[in-house]
């Protein structure tokens, strides 16, 4: 089931303990689970304009998703982020949130969404136990927003943000990918919006995932440059706060807003990586930027009443979690051919 095995694998016990510790001593306590590859947007850095989506039988059922989460939580995972595609376009997705939200040992159930469905679903999500929510917003200009997302409506997302605020989540954070020559003139206005809304915002450097219709090097905008732009207007204080992910945070003085920077290029964060990703096909990726994976779907479907093969595969996967993602924008081909929507946002 494991697609890539290191040469020293035979020296690593198949099952050291009932916890997830990789060959570099990093403890994995956070999983990102994609429940669909489908999305109602077609963001230019994430997907092709014309996408072919997976047939239903090649996608994990919601029951299989719930079973996977339960197994991971039994192995010490305390944080689960549900992603897609756009997870809220998945029929009956709320059932999954409600089911895993009740698991003992799960401290945080969080969601990444494009915000298109929040106007209708925010309160129900809050009721299932979702504590924090990340909403992707790359522009506050309706025409530009439409151009970046190809199909999205900014007003609908803004209404979703208001619905999320009314629902009372512990934290609401905007996720923004700044692209040179596309939306780099909106850095300050996006932060000003977050401050006005009393929510947080994170800037994420564009990652070379999938064969898109622009060169990543041409649109790459460093978070180092983003920080300089922000410091030209706002008094910022470095913070040691963490939400369990890769973001480094700064507090905006005299506001309720903190600004996160997720910088896979300019400030590599692999040394403290605590997470793995599971695609909607049941592929366990040990790193966003590498192809090492373990196929979990066959184990789910061939052992309907026995979790031990699944547990053994997950524990064994720790031996192939790579040291880092090794992104290089100068490569002629993308570092990873699969789209971000395939792996999970």
Q: In terms of pLDDT, which residue wins out, 322 or 68?
A: 68
Mean pLDDT across 297-303? 98
Domain ranges of the chain: 27-343
Q: What's domain 27-343's architecture?
A: Alpha-Beta Barrel (3.20)
Instruction: Give the CA angle between residues 275, 97, 69 to the nearest 5°.
Output: 40
Taking alpha carbons only, the member of 264, 322, 263, 268 closest to residue 290 is 322
pLDDT band at 13 (very low <50, low <70, confident <90, very high): very low
Q: What is the DSSP letter of 335?
A: S
331 burial (CB, 10 Å; 0-12 / 13-18 / 19+) is: exposed
Asked whether the CA dihedral 205, 211, 212, 218 is positive or negative, the reply is positive
Residue 172 β-bridge partners: 133
Q: Are 109 and 96 in contact (CB under 8 A)?
A: no
Phi, psi torsion values for 223, nearest 5 degrees: -65, -20
The pLDDT mean for the chain works out to: 87
Q: What DSSP line would sit under 247-287, residue for residue?
A: -EEEEETTSS-EEEEE-TTTS--GGG--EEEE-TT-EEES-
Spatial distance between the Cα atoms of 47 and 213, rounded to a whole number of angstroms:
9
Whole-model pTM: value is 0.86
Residue 176 β-bridge partners: 203
Which residues are CB-contacts of 99 (< 8 A; sequence separation ≥ 6)? 66
Summarised one tens digit per residue, pLDDT across range 143-202 is 999 999 999 999 999 999 999 999 999 999 999 999 999 999 999 999 999 999 999 999
pLDDT score of 46 more than 90: no
Determine how many CB atoms are found less than 10 A away from the CB of residue 244: 16
Summarised one tens digit per residue, pLDDT across range 249-262 is 999 999 999 999 98
Mean pLDDT across 83-107? 97
pLDDT at 192: 98
Percent of the chain with pLDDT over 70: 83
Instruction: Give the CA angle between residues 89, 92, 97 to the nearest 5°.
Output: 95
Sheet holding 236-239, edge to edge: 236-239, 248-252, 258-262, 200-204, 171-176, 132-136, 108-113, 79-83, 30-34, 275-278, 283-285, 293-295
| CA distances, 273 to each of 16, 117, 160, 192 (Å) | 20, 31, 31, 31
pLDDT at 326: 57
């Amino acid at each position: 089931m494991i697609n890539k095995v290191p040469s020293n694998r035979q020296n690593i016990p198949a099952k050291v303990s009932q916890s997830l510790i990789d060959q570099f001593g990093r403890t994995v306590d956070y999983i990102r689970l994609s429940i669909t590859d489908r999305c109602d947007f077609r963001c230019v850095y994430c997907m092709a304009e014309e996408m072919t989506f997976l047939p239903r039988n090649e996608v994990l059922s919601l029951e299989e998703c719930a079973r996977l989460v339960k197994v991971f939580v039994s192995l010490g995972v305390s944080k689960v982020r549900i992603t897609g595609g756009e997870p809220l376009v998945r029929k009956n997705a709320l059932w999954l949130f409600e089911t895993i939200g009740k698991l003992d040992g799960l401290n945080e159930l969080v969601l990444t969404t494009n915000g298109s469905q929040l106007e209708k679903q925010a309160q129900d999500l809050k009721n299932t136990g979702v504590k924090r929510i990340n909403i992707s917003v790359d522009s506050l200009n309706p025409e530009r927003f439409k151009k970046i997302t190809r199909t999205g409506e900014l007003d609908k997302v803004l209404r979703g943000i208001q619905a999320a605020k009314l629902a009372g989540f512990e934290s609401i954070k905007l996720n923004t990918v700044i692209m040179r020559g596309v939306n780099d003139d909106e850095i300050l206005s996006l932060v000003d919006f977050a401050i006005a809304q009393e929510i947080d915002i994170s800037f994420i450097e564009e990652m070379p995932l999938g064969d898109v219709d622009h060169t990543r090097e041409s649109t790459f905008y460093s978070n180092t440059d983003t920080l300089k732009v922000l410091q030209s207007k706002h008094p910022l204080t470095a913070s040691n706060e963490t939400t369990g992910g890769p973001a480094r945070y700064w507090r905006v003085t005299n506001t309720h807003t903190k600004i996160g920077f997720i910088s896979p290029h300019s400030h590599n964060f692999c040394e403290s990586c605590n997470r793995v990703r599971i695609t909607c096909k049941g592929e366990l990726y040990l790193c966003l930027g590498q192809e090492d994976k373990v196929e979990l779907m066959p184990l789910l479907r061939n052992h309907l009443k026995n979790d031990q093969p699944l547990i053994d595969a997950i524990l064994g996967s720790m031996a192939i979690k790579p040291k880092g993602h090794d992104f290089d924008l100068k490569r002629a081909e993308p570092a990873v051919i699969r789209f971000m929507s395939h792996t999970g946002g």
